[in-house]
């Protein structure tokens, strides 16, 4: 049994009794990486020297350790800024970028005495649903190396599913934590917009991006979210709300909980296996004392178009800073300033990033702004109202995380619209800003399926309560890929 088959609370107990030390955990992480990362290709950069030095320092504190994450190794998605540790966003345009400051979440993790193992691969600038858009390498799904791990936080999910680290951080703009969590059979949470600071998260779409935890269990997820959540004066969109003890919600008791099931989430395009896994999950929750009813989120059908207009518009503005002047890649053969801008961006960005910059620039351009961007913002308001109306009457909303299990590598690369449709069930929550979690709920052709549980703004506790009760009543989370 691997050390990382234990829950974080169990590892904490072993540390407290001095049956293991922090160096053992770090050794286990790097040993597993050496064994399997050649197959799954999750890590872009390892921080082995600093990780081992910190482990030795924390070993001196054993017996006096504090906090629920003490000594835990963690992987970090490569769009989260890490001081003196290369941060590339999996893009050639940032391939040699070594930041001089930390993202707020990194400072919080250091305060919690976690140990950063390294930086994880991703779709370039978080734009993608399969991890095939990285500028450096593809990441593979540990359940089947011929399939994608999801994206853009595919490697964050892979590293946990493959047992390389007990947990990781990802970012979620339109499903980029939950979709890979579903494909890789792990737990992924997109918190309420504003709960976790975005300071130091390289921006894709600022009104949609959120950092969140990917873990093996709901309990571990709640512990990690508790460590990174909270108000940050460095982020103007950070919400000044009190952070509850999420662990106190993990009672296993959902008696009287009211669950809404949108008919749109079990309709056309959702595979029979995904639909059946949700219906089976609802039976489990019903047997535990919850009650559910079918509802409608009528504007969901517009979410995909709304999301790609808004996110691409924000991306075109956010990515304008990568121009070869201040940092990052600069073309070596420019004849003048304009030529330098053009060649730097043409050579530094990948095709998917260019596609979205062009779409966003078009939507924001004179004569098209009202027809596209402004209209999309109005539809976003309607989508949010749908959620507000349903969540006024119900505790949580439940549906599948993805319409299908993981697809084969290369299957959708030539068809952007099919690739975009993979996020159809996760995008509406980002537009509405509500929290949502994916937990393992079944298998199709040997590949994991995810159950998505959605809550009210800043009510992660109810989401965790339902997710934990379902997890405890099933054993999907105990099944591991055989690499």
Round to whole Å and give the CA distance between 95 and 80.
Answer: 14
Coil/strand/helix, residue 61? coil
Catalytic hit among 176, 197, 238, 462: 176
Dihedral sign (CA 445, 33, 130, 190): positive
Closest CA to 349 of 200, 133, 150: 133
Reply yes or no on whether 77 is catalytic.
yes
Point out the catalytic residue in the list 77, 108, 119, 456. 77
**CA angle (217 as vertex; 214, 223 as ends), nearest 5:** 70
Residue 320 is a catalytic residue = no
**Segments of 137-275 assigned E as strands:** 167-172, 187-190, 210-215, 258-262
**Taking the CA of residue 78 as centre, how many other CA atoms within 13 Å lie in the half-sphere pointing to its CB?**
38
Both structure tokens of 171? 């970012």
Q: Which two tokens stand for residue 163?
A: 């047992």
- H or E, element range at 354: helix 351-364
Please, what is the end-to-end C-alpha distance for the chain in angstroms? 14
Q: Regarding beta strands 436-444 and 447-454, do their DSSP bridges make them parallel or antiparallel, or are they unpaired?
A: antiparallel
Q: In angstroms, rounded to a whole number, what is the distance separating the alpha carbons of residues 130 and 118? A: 21
Calpha distance 357→377 (Å, rounded): 18
Q: 152, 153, 168, 316: which is the annotated catalytic residue?
A: 152
What is the distance between the alpha carbons of residues 86 and 142, in angstroms, rounded to a whole number?
25
- Tell which residue, 269, 299, 254, has the closest CA to residue 398: 254
Residues 227, 233, 236, CA angle at the centre, nearest 5°?
105
Question: Could you tell me the two tokens for 62?
Answer: 């054993």
Q: CB of 426 within 8 A of CB of 435? A: no
Asked if 83 and 99 touch (Cβ cutoff 8 Å), the reply is yes
Catalytic residues: 77, 152, 176
């Amino acid at each position: 049994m691997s050390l990382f088959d234990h829950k974080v609370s169990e590892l904490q107990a072993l540390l407290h009794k001095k049956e293991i030390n922090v160096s053992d955990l770090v050794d286990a992480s790097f040993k597993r990486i050496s064994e399997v990362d050649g197959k799954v290709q999750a890590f872009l950069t390892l921080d082995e020297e600093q990780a081992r030095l910190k482990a030795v320092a924390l070993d001196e504190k054993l017996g006096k350790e504090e906090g629920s994450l003490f000594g835990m190794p963690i992987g970090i998605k490569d769009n989260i800024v890490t001081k003196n540790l290369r941060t590339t966003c999996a893009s050639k345009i940032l391939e040699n970028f070594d930041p001089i400051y930390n993202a707020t979440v990194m400072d919080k993790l250091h305060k919690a005495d976690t140990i950063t193992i390294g930086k994880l691969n991703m779709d370039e600038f978080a734009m993608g649903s399969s991890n095939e858009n990285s500028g450096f390498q593809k990441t593979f799904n540990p359940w089947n190396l011929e399939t994608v791990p999801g994206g853009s936080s595919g490697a964050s999910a892979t590293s946990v599913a493959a047992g390389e680290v007990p947990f990781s951080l990802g970012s979620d703009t339109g499903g980029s934590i939950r979709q890979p969590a579903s494909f890789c059979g792990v737990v992924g949470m997109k918190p309420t917009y504003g709960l976790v600071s975005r300071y130091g998260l390289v921006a894709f779409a600022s009104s949609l991006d959120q950092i969140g935890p990917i873990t093996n269990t709901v309990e571990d997820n709640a512990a990690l979210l508790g460590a990174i959540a909270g108000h940050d004066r460095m982020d103007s969109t950070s919400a000044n709300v009190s952070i509850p003890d999420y662990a106190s919600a993990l009672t296993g008791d959902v008696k009287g909980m009211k669950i809404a099931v949108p008919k749109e989430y079990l309709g056309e395009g959702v595979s029979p296996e995904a639909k059946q896994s949700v219906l089976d999950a609802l039976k489990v929750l019903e047997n535990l004392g919850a009650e559910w009813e079918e509802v409608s989120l009528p504007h969901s059908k517009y979410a995909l178009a709304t999301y790609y207009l808004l996110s691409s518009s924000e991306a075109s503005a956010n990515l304008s800073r990568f121009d070869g002047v201040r940092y990052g890649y600069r073309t070596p053969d420019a004849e003048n300033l304009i030529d330098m801008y053009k060649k730097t961006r043409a050579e530094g960005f990948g095709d998917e990033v260019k596609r979205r910059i062009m779409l966003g620039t078009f939507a924001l351009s004179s004569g098209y702004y009202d027809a596209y961007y402004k209209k999309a913002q109005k539809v976003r308001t309607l989508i949010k109202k749908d959620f507000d109306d349903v969540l006024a009457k119900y505790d949580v909303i439940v549906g599948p995380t993805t319409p299908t299990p993981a697809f084969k590598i290369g299957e959708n690369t030539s068809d952007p619209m099919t690739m975009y449709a993979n996020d159809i069930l996760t995008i509406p929550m980002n537009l509405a800003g509500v929290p949502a979690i994916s937990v393992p709920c079944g298998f199709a052709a040997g590949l994991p399926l995810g159950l998505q549980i959605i809550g009210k703004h800043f009510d992660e506790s109810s989401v965790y309560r339902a997710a934990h009760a379902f997890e405890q009543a099933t054993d999907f989370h105990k099944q591991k890929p055989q690499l």
